Amino acid sequence: MNAFAVSCLIIVAAAVVVFLARKRSTTPQQRQAEPEPIAAPATENPESPLNDAVRTGVRAFMKQHYEEAFELLEPPARQGNLKAQQLLAKMYYAGHGVPADREQYLYWLKRAADNGDKPSKAKVKKIEQGRTEAH
Amino acid sequence: MARFQRGMRNLDIELTNRCNAQCTFCPRDQTPDQGFISEDTFKKSVDRALELELTPKIHSAGQGEPTLHPQLPEFARYAHSKGIDFGFTTNGSLLTEELAEEILDAQVSHIVFSISDLDEDYEEVYALNFDVTRANIMRFLDMNEARGKPVRTNVSLVAHDLNRHKLPQYRKFWKQAGIDEFMNYEQTNRGGACDIGLYFVDNDGYKEEAAGILASNGLHHVCGVPFIMLFIGWNGQYYLCCNDYRKLSPLGSVFDHSIEEMDDIKWNKFFEDEIPEACKNCDLDVTNKFREALFEIEAGESSPDKIDLLVTETREQQESLEQIYSVAK
């Protein structure tokens, strides 16, 4: 295994440890009750720890390790990472790694939509149209 | 002498790379230069298929929704008039009664409905209205049945996080509705356009190790997909593969090159560079498959047996390719 691969693994492992440590003290229910800070968009630097967390989080999501994926993806989602926001919306929709929560689903859909994601825009529009018609 | 003269191939003529759906597993938003195929380009592509000793079937899927093309029935009639089996993949959401009638009249041979979810999940994944899609497909199946089922119907199921445990239920639903066949797929990364959490995409490692495994097992690095699943974009360019969502490897125009010439161009493409641009981040690429397995083993997610299984699988695929690749390479 080359030095670059070793470095990447160390960075990824460090990111996992940091994010797990930061989040271990809160439950998903507590997290939902927290006010949602509006963060500046994440840096596009591919080597940033946040992007490492996204990579590892996406991998955990695809392997259906949803709780791990949530822990990894929530911080970058709050920082404005689109991929993380899309996956958080999916997790709240399906109840993957967190209890299914319609409001949190819509919140992350809106964040992704505001970030320029067209499918999220379409879904937000449809949901809001449905709510208007229901009233 | 034709290289591919003993095996059936499939020609995907892309009618459009525009789409009315926004599927969460599809990277169509990365497809540049969106448009619709012209009549001349479609007919030239069909004529290219006819130049082959063994005519491939034509299945228009491309990177968009074929029913968006207003000339779909006309194209189907043209292909049928040339004796070619023509079919297409659709999400079904635009398959009105009028279009269904035209498609049946045009003697389309097969239709694949791309519909991996039902109800609310469908709307979450496809951003389309499920009731409309279901009604369209059910009506088409009834109309097809009334004519004696001239069109073979198929549902394509892509496994993902929402449907993985529901797929048997979905198959049963569509089977009862009258669908003939099913195709099951795992998500791929579509030439690197989709982020599905693969190690090799983020890391240059294991290239030499993977190449060494291939060499020591008498395997080569040429992917079979570009030779079995031929792809012509809506603009008349041949591309290496339908997974080249970002259209990174245009290889020449259908007006300038035959499919046989393109076979040689594609084959050489695998030896001009270390790996063709369109394949560099593709999880179907032979070398990348081994690299990913090596990363998984290193991460403790797979056992070393995975390499042996991959060697066996690759050997079978390459022997299958060589059976139809009739000229010494």
Interface touch B205/A2, C-beta < 8 Å: yes
User: B44 vs chain A: nearest CA distance in angstroms?
Assistant: 35
Q: What is the 3-state secondary structure (H, E, C) of A20-52?
A: HHHHCCCCHHHHHHCCCCCCCCCCCCCCCHHHH
Q: Is B212 helix (H, G, I), strand (E, B) or coil?
A: helix
In this predicted structure, the answer to whether residue A42 has a pLDDT above a threshold of 50 is no
Residues of chain B short of pLDDT 50, as ranges, are 1-2, 5-6, 326-329
User: A47 vs chain B: nearest CA distance in angstroms?
Assistant: 10
pLDDT-derived band at A131, boundaries 50, 70, 90? confident
**Spatial separation of the C-alpha atoms in residues B9 and B12, rounded to whole Å:** 10
CA angle B234, B237, B240 (to 5 degrees): 110
Specify the pLDDT at position B7: 59
Q: Which amino acid is at B184?
A: N
**Spatial separation of the C-alpha atoms in residues A93 and A105, rounded to whole Å:** 5
- Of B233, B247, B262, give the one whose Cα is nearest residue B42: B233
Q: For residue B26, what is the nearest residue in chain A, using CA coordinates?
A: A119
Mean pLDDT (chain B) is 91
pLDDT-derived band at A30, boundaries 50, 70, 90? very low
Specify the pLDDT at position B119: 93
Q: What tokens were used for B194?
A: 């989709």
Chain A interface, best mutation among B20, B129, B161, B204, by max A CB count within 10 A:
B161
**Spatial separation of the C-alpha atoms in residues B148 and B297, rounded to whole Å:** 52
DSSP A122: H
In this complex, the residue of B127, B161, B204 whose CB is nearest that of residue A96 is: B161
Specify the pLDDT at position B210: 96
Chain B residues whose C-beta is within 8 A of a chain A C-beta are 22-24, 29, 123-124, 127, 161-162, 164, 187, 195-199, 202-206, 298, 301
Chain A contact set for B197 (CB, 8 A):
55, 58-63
In this complex, the residue of A59, A64, A123 whose CB is nearest that of residue B161 is: A64
Specify the pLDDT at position A44: 52
Interface touch A126/B205, C-beta < 8 Å: no
Q: Is the ipTM of this complex over 0.85?
A: no
Edge-to-edge strand ranges of the sheet holding B86-90: B181-186, B152-159, B110-114, B86-90, B57-60, B10-13, B229-232, B237-239, B250-253
Specify the pLDDT at position B9: 85
Residue B186 has phi, psi (to 5 degrees) of -90, 155
Interface touch B203/A8, C-beta < 8 Å: yes
Interface touch B205/A1, C-beta < 8 Å: yes
**Spatial separation of the C-alpha atoms in residues A35 and B155, rounded to whole Å:** 44
Specify the pLDDT at position B50: 94
Summarised one tens digit per residue, pLDDT across range B71-85 is: 999 999 999 999 999
What is the Cβ-side half-sphere exposure of residue B133, based on CA atoms within 13 angstroms?
24
Summarised one tens digit per residue, pLDDT across range A3-29 is: 444 444 444 444 433 333 333 333 333
In this complex, the residue of A5, A94, A126 whose CB is nearest that of residue B161 is: A94
Q: What tokens were used for B39?
A: 């009549």
Interface touch A90/B203, C-beta < 8 Å: no
Q: For residue A126, what is the nearest residue in chain B, using CA coordinates?
A: B127
Enumerate the H helices of chain A as residue ranges: 3-23, 28-33, 49-62, 66-78, 82-94, 102-114, 118-134
Specify the pLDDT at position A26: 37
In this predicted structure, the answer to whether residue A53 has a pLDDT above a threshold of 50 is yes
